[in-house]
Structure 1
Amino acid sequence: MQHYDLIIIGGGPIGLACGLEAQSAGLNYVILEKGCLVNSLYNYPANMTFFSTSDRLEIGDVPFVSNNAKPTRSEALEYYRRVAIHRKLHIKLFESVEQISRTNQENDEINYTLKTNKAEYQAQHIIIATGFYDIPYLMNVPGEDLPKVTHYYEEPHFYALQKVAVVGANNSAVDAALETWRKGAEVTMIIRQSEIGSRVKYWAKPDIENRIKEGTIKAYFNSEVAAVRQDEIDIKTPEGIVTIQNDYVIAMTGYQPNLDFLRKIGITLSNDEVLKPTYDEETQETNLPNVYLAGVICGGMNTHSLFIENSRIHAVKILQKITGKEIHQPNY
């Protein structure tokens, strides 16, 4: 069994930031990622543009240079890949953590045993930086399990000349609607609210609103999908059920963190709908000694409160707590 000073669960930007700080502190560490490098970013739409500027996505004082002020997904993948390779970060990919248990030593030193789908490890400290992009919110309607329904949108060409329903009204839904429409899809948006989401990127919001106003993209507001069938869908609208012809459903209904995993290992959550994990905001340490949270997982179900740009500092806080030393803080 391999023993580490620190194991970091999650190989996204914040997990990599934690790895960089651990490396600088001289710790024996490893990053365990259940998918590919920066797996969540990899699953973003192919043509996605970040809302943040490139400097706000930098980690470990490594410059992020992009062609435009707002970097693209491909530029971000290149940047984080370059950081991981150039800094020789110790990362094990496609290895998911399945179980964590505490094992106290005779000298009362705290240790944890981690079991993955490939191996078993021990560590004195654990950082959980697992993000929230793995578990989609389901519509919970008949037919949602049909192959024509997806909760992850990749790129628009596949939907050319097809009748496409896009569910949702925030950034991912707006991007999917505009991109597929521009590639020749007949697009219908199904929106639970009365308007396009207020957090939609400022350059996309007037675009989608104008397309809806002119009728080139059809939108049902205050509505939701009631059922999905092979060639059509039912939409529950304020006027009643409307049935339309349909080839594909892109359900951009949002995603949620794996809070069950936190519960399973003993981290307590708040008793309200936010389900915010218990942790010290000065050190990021949870109610489990030597177990820390970093990144968007800290917000519980409030996944819009933390991003790469305001979570990078978590790595510094945690490593200061682990080492007991003041750490140079990057220009965050």
Structure 2
Amino acid sequence: MSIIYDTLIIGGGPIGLACGIEAKKKGLSHIILEKGCLVNSLFNYPVNMTFFSTSEKLEIGGAPFVSNNHRPIRREALEYYRRVQTTWNLNVHLFEEVINVQKNIKNQELFTVTSSKESYQAKTIVVATGFYDIPNLMDIPGEELQKVKHYYDDPHLYAFTDVTVIGGANSAIDAALETYRKGANVTLVIKDAEINDRVKYWVKPDIENRIKEGSIKCYFQSCVTDITPKTVTIKSIENDDKVVIPNDFVLAMTGYQPNFGFLSKIGIQLSDDTLKKPFYNEDTHESNVENLYLAGVVCGGMKTNSWFIENSRVHAEMIYQNIEEKLNNKTKV
């Protein structure tokens, strides 16, 4: 006879782990399914990334996050969340992607979850899948070329090459500065008239000074319209003027989006506007599908900058308070 879990959590990132911790605190049987490694999105962050949040704001499960700096780096975060998993011994299945979630045909109070490896039964589902897996595409000629990267890792790869970085937010600015300091000839293309105000305050003066002195060439109010193996074409949004420059790599830091196809497939309603915000009760985080909850960044739809680890940790507590009450009421009946 197969196990019926009290709760199944989709996503093994910090918020998915926080949900598992809350479930364990309340004595609920749980399983966490993660399609990649533990905290897979953080693993895929740039190797030199520094978090905007301080370490205490990234803490979950009461485990202290001790960092060598005021703000932790990627390597420290990976070590911290591994220690959280070791401390709580959560039932995490790694490298197991969830394919579908459906109401059980014979018992509508249960969900049947199909993964890339197994099939599971659960009373409640929590989707904590984040948003980092699907890049926002530019839909321009040449975007499919191997030299075009939507994920940035190690700046050494771009040393002594012509690099075009697209975007004006944190990821783009970090990529521009780091590749420049490894010897790349960097051109920055930004659709807005200035550097984004959300850029980390200790980084913003650095990029502005590099642009001012001409170390990094920047085209404001511009976009890339065409990419070839050896060039990129940059067009001014103001007057349609175009310039073609030499290029070896394009780092398209154009942002990412949740897996809306998966959300729709499992029955979650999305708003009709461009935000595609999934429906959920803001007090309980229960979606339009009874006993199916949303946690973390996925709650924001296309507005991926509205939720972070530090302000969505509380989702786990809200969700499992509601789940505990529901399960207790069923038991009493």
TM over 0.5: yes
Give the RMSD, CA atoms, in angstroms.
1.2
Structure 1 residue aligned with 2:255:
254
**CA distance in 2 between partners of 1:230 and 1:103 (Å):** 51
Structure 1 residue ranges without an equivalent (≥5):
326-332
Pairing 1:170-181 to 2, within 5 Å after superposition:
170-181=169-180
Unaligned ranges ≥5, structure 2 = 327-333
Once residues 10 and 57 of structure 1 are traced to their aligned partners in structure 2, the CA distance between those partners, rounded to angstroms, is: 17
- The within-5 A match list for 1:74-113 is 74-103=75-104, 105=106, 110-113=109-112
- Residue 85 of structure 1 deviates from its aligned partner by 1.6
- Structure 1 match to 2:329: none
TM-score normalised by structure 1 residue count: 0.95
- More divergent stretch after superposition (209-218 vs 260-269): 260-269
Residue 104 of structure 1 contacts residue 110 of structure 1 at CA under 8 Å; is this kept in 2? no
How many residues were matched structurally? 323
2:310 partner amino acid: E
| AA of the residue aligned to 2:264 | R
Q: Which amino acid aligns with 2:153?
A: E
Structure 2 CA distance for aligned equivalents of residues 24 and 104 of structure 1: 31
1:55 aligned partner: 56
Counterpart check, 1:271 vs 2:272: yes
Q: Which residue is equivalent to 1:235?
A: 234
CA distance in 2, matches of 1:282, 1:226: 44
Cα distance between partner residues in 2 of 1:239 and 1:259 = 33
Question: Retained in 2: the 8 A contact 1:41–1:73?
Answer: yes
Moved over 3 A (4+): none
CA distance in 1, matches of 2:128, 2:223: 33
Letter of the structure 2 residue corresponding to residue 302 of structure 1: K
Q: Following superposition of structure 1 onto structure 2, how do residues 166-205 of structure 1 map, counting pairs within 5 Å?
A: 166-205=165-204
Please give the alpha-carbon distance, in whole angstroms, between the structure 1 residues aligned to 2:101 and 2:280. Answer: 18
Tell me the residue number matched to 1:70: 71
Are the equivalent residues in 2 in contact too, given 1:25–1:323 (CA < 8 A)?
yes
Q: Write the deviation string for residues 9-30 of structure 1: whole angstroms up to 9, x where unpaired.
A: 0000000000011111111111
Letter in 1 for 2:31: V
| 2:5 aligned counterpart, secondary structure | strand
Question: Does 2:10 correspond to 1:9?
Answer: yes
| Residues 129, 297 of structure 1: 8 Å contact kept | yes
Aligned match of 1:25: 26
Q: Deviations over 1:106-147 (max 9, x none)?
A: 6xx610001111111110000000000010011111111111
| Correspondence 1:152 to 2:148 | no
Per the normalisation by structure 2, the TM-score is: 0.95
* Aligned-partner SS, 2:67: coil
Identical positions, percent: 60
Match of 2:211 in 1: 212
Per mean C-alpha deviation after superposition, the further-off stretch among 237-246 and 282-291 is 237-246
Q: Report deviation, 1:86.
A: 2.1
